[in-house]
Amino acid sequence: MFDGLKEKLGEFREDAADVAAEQATTEHEAQADSEAPDDSTATDDSTAGAPDGADESEGGPSLTDRAKSLATGKVILDAEDLEEPLWELELALLENDVEMSVAEEILDGIEAELVGEQKTITESTTGLIEEALREALFDVVSVGQFDFLDRLAATDKPAVIIFTGVNGVGKTTSIAKLATYLEEHGFSSVLANGDTYRAGANEQIEVHADRIDAPLISHEQGGDPAAVIYDAVEYANAHDIDVVLGDTAGRLHTSDGLMNQLAKIDRVVGPDMTLFVDEAVAGQDAVKRATEFNEAANI
């Protein structure tokens, strides 16, 4: 998708070579002229030293600037150079179901990283481009980041964390992974099965709890999810446990009954964090899902 940019960089190299050769010839002629006396003509200071190819009026890097930069193994790009390849990238992102506002942030990040900056040219320009894309993606996914362990340490015990999301995205497995991570960093935890309607849900989380040697609070199938998680909080208080990790039933954001159930958990338990779990490849629908889930419980 960056073939256009790679081709443009190749043109810069060719143009720079021509300018460098022309400048060398001009300097040689100027040196020869300086050796011969010539009082008939005065030099106009306003044009002296302005090499061919410079275009200061447009405000962007001139061909001469690029030539000088390339002489040291670097390149300068302007917005026009990136217009076509960024358009190709935008189409590729949208075709792969990246949400529009996210795609725009990625493109803006790449443009900010490359335009007007001197970049070292490697054997190919792939590394240059991939690094700009990597930085842009990092900026997008790091929005709203916080230190998880620091937040837990600053929260009154027990910290209550609820996991929610659509069906089959790995909420229960994520709970087991987080419990292991917390134990490695000195936090004890209790698991709570708020997925009370799905057949086999109790057995699934029980397997995880046994494997990581963590206590588990669960009720009979069909019980009240809010009551299960409330009991887990009471258990944590009684046993001086740091964190309650509450599982919930997978649900579509269009399921009013289950979304109301999630809102009830939020009211009854008042969790410190509600983590929305979704597939990394969910695309634009993930934004809609997250918005709907956030209306039921602050995720």
Q: What is the pLDDT along the chain (299 residues), one digit of tens a residue?
A: 555 555 554 555 555 455 445 554 555 565 555 655 555 444 444 444 444 444 444 555 566 665 555 555 566 667 777 788 888 888 888 888 888 888 888 888 888 887 776 665 544 455 667 788 888 888 887 777 788 899 999 999 999 999 998 888 889 999 999 999 999 999 999 999 998 888 888 999 999 999 999 999 999 888 899 999 999 999 999 999 999 999 988 776 567 777 788 888 888 999 999 999 988 777 778 888 888 888 878 88
User: What is the β-pairing status of strands 159-165 and 216-217?
Assistant: unpaired
Residue type, 109: G
The answer as to whether 55 is a domain residue is no
Domain boundary among 120, 141, 162: 141
Domain encompassing residue 66: 3-29+60-141
Return the CATH number at 227: 3.40.50.300
Q: Is residue 101 part of a domain?
A: yes
Handedness of CA 86, 76, 16, 60 (dihedral sign): positive
Decide which of 112, 141, 170 is a domain's last residue.
141
In degrees, rounded to 5, the angle at the alpha carbon of residue 288 between the alpha carbons of residues 255 and 281 is 105
Tell me, yes or no, whether 167 and 287 share the same domain: yes
Which of 121, 141, 161 is the last residue in one of the domains?
141
Cα 40 to the center of its chain, rounded Å: 65
> How many angstroms from the chain centroid is the CA of residue 165?
20
CA dist 235 and 242 (Å) reads: 11
Strand partners, 159: 243
Spatial distance between the Cα atoms of 58 and 252, rounded to a whole number of angstroms: 53
Query: How many folded domains does the chain comprise?
Result: 2
Angle at the Cα of 244 (from 243 to 245), degrees rounded to 5? 115
